[in-house]
Amino acid sequence: TQLLEQSPQFLSIQEGENLTVYCNSSSVFSSLQWYRQEPGEGPVLLVTVVTGGEVKKLKRLTFQFGDARKDSSLHITAAQTGDTGLYLCAGGRYNTDKLIFGTGTRLQVFP
Amino acid sequence: GAVVSQHPSRVICKSGTSVKIECRSLDFQATTMFWYRQFPKQSLMLMATSNEGSKATYEQGVEKDKFLINHASLTLSTLTVTSAHPEDSSFYICSARAQISYNEQFFGPGTRLTVL
């Protein structure tokens, strides 16, 4: 059972457009990470959010953790071709070192 | 900081042979390392959790005798795919967790295994 559902599954947009990726669960997480993975490479950590309602900004990327710590969103402003990749959210739990990975969102940004 | 390396990055082997993949944390000590498998266009599938100095914990459905994991030091974990078969062909990725973190994992670049 996949505990973290991401939507949309695929997203194809043109440079300059804005987009939002959602990561939803019915479970509560102690922390939530967002990763970006390019083909043939390992995921790269973008951000960690730990407090309900927390908002973090990383240049054109804005991350939000839901108030109840069950969901998160990633908003990209003015997408660039370099944003292309697989975006993965991952939730942490208090009683385990393991991360629960989301289903992934594949983003393609065209020039 | 938080750099994880994997070796080899790509390996092609014959069916029936064994392949060892190394995962190293280069600039931090990792008490826990993880091994994932990733199928094309899919998310990561956790195979096992590797703890330094103790036996690995395998996820349900992962054969421990097939995928041998050793975590002999705080900076090195190895995954050995024994008697590899074509269905074992995949992208294997390791990650390491720093001793003090919010469950953050830092990933290696992955190893592409092709079994002929």
> Residue A33 and residue B46: Cβ atoms within 8 Å?
no
- Beta strands per DSSP E along A4-98: 5-7, 10-14, 19-24, 31-37, 44-49, 55-58, 61-65, 71-76, 85-92
φ, ψ for residue A83 (rounded to 5)? -80, -10
What pLDDT was estimated at residue A60? 97
Percent of chain B surpassing pLDDT 90: 77
What would the pLDDT profile of A48-103 be if each residue is shown by its tens digit?
999 999 999 999 999 999 999 999 999 999 999 999 999 999 999 888 889 999 99
Q: What is the pLDDT of residue B57?
A: 94
Mean pLDDT of B49-65: 92
Q: Is A32 on the interface with B (CB under 8 A)?
A: no
Residue of A nearest to B49 (CA): A98
A28 touches chain B (CB under 8 A): no
Torsion angle of C-alpha atoms B101, B103, B108, B111, degrees rounded to 10: 160
- Closest partner residue to A104 among B43, B95, B108, by Cβ? B43
Is the pLDDT at B101 greater than 80? The verdict is no
